[in-house]
Amino acid sequence: MEKLAGAALVAGWATAATAAEDGASGPLGGIARLIELGGPVVPVQLALSVIALAIIVAKLVQFVRARAWSHGFVDPVARMMHGGDFAGADAALARETGPVAAVMKAAAAGRATGAADATVREEVERIAQAQLDSLERGLPQLGLIATISPLLGLLGTVTGLVGAFQQLARAGDRVDPAILSSGIWEALLTTVIGLVIAIPAATCYGLFQRTVDQVGRRAEDAATRVFTVDLYRRFGLREDPERPLAELQAAE
């Protein structure tokens, strides 16, 4: 993903430079015009927008391929294990992919070896952390872009206003309101660009981070249900996701 973002950055700079040099019409000409009006902050903002878009697309593809939202198999597999149908549970798990499935497979495989639960839990936690690290890769950069884009816009606005008032001061008695209004319009352009970048970047960052957190909780729940199989089998209880501990305590 870092390679994709780097390639997108180079492409964005190349596009902007070509438009500025050739005076191209259409979208490229519009980019060149934005750079001309907004000043040196705009190229940085455009580069950040390209990087943010590359990260968002890459994360969407990764989440879909990894089936990050897939967890409906956990309940049926847990019920099979609690009923003693470990062969059926293993077969059902073998057909599943994704972070939650990987963690549940590791827990089931570890318990099947007869190793101590503490040792198996350490390995399961390692696998779970590796899965979460993979899903989180690129999100800090996206969050940083969402944070600094409005600040860059504010910086461009302030520097633009400084330039506008300098032109107004140089005009002396021959003050033309058009000079000030034009300068303010150009200065505010960087703020608009910063907000246009920050809003979708912050939205996607929040959605992606929430998905990662949900995957972590579901993976922890799936692993715990594998380790507590003996409790349910010992008391012959039917699992109630709403009150599992209450049932166990009552049975004791």
Per-residue pLDDT tens over the stretch 76-90: 888 888 777 778 888
Is the pLDDT at 242 greater than 80? The verdict is no
What single letter denotes the amino acid at residue 104?
A: M
User: Do 92 and 73 meet the contact criterion of CB atoms below 8 Å apart?
Assistant: yes
pLDDT, average across residues 157-175? 75
Structure confidence at residue 144 (pLDDT)? 96
Q: Between the ranges 94-103, 224-233, 238-247, where is the mean pLDDT highest?
A: 94-103
* CA separation for the pair 57, 74 (Å, rounded): 28
Structure confidence at residue 114 (pLDDT)? 76
* CA separation for the pair 143, 204 (Å, rounded): 9
Least confident of 209-218, 228-237, 241-250: 241-250
Structure confidence at residue 31 (pLDDT)? 65
Is the pLDDT at 113 greater than 50? The verdict is yes
Mean of pLDDT over the chain? 77
Is the pLDDT at 183 greater than 60? The verdict is yes
Q: How many CB atoms lie within 10 A of CB 91?
A: 12
User: Do 222 and 107 meet the contact criterion of CB atoms below 8 Å apart?
Assistant: yes
Instruction: Give the SS3 label for residue 138.
Output: coil
pLDDT, average across residues 99-106? 88
* CA separation for the pair 81, 75 (Å, rounded): 10
Return the closest-CA partner of residue 68 out of 98, 93, 92, 96: 98
Task: Give, in degrees to the nearest 5, the angle at Cα 189 between 33 and 143.
Answer: 110
Least confident of 70-84, 97-111, 119-133, 202-216: 70-84
pLDDT, average across residues 147-154? 92
pLDDT tier at 198, thresholds 50, 70, 90: very high
Structure confidence at residue 112 (pLDDT)? 80
Is the pLDDT at 202 greater than 70? The verdict is yes
Exposed/middle/buried for 98, CB within 10 Å: 0-12, 13-18, 19+?
buried
pLDDT tier at 14, thresholds 50, 70, 90: very low
* CA separation for the pair 182, 160 (Å, rounded): 10
What single letter denotes the amino acid at residue 6?
A: G
* CA separation for the pair 231, 69 (Å, rounded): 29
Exposed/middle/buried for 113, CB within 10 Å: 0-12, 13-18, 19+?
exposed
pLDDT tier at 13, thresholds 50, 70, 90: very low
* CA separation for the pair 245, 77 (Å, rounded): 19
pTM for this predicted structure: 0.72
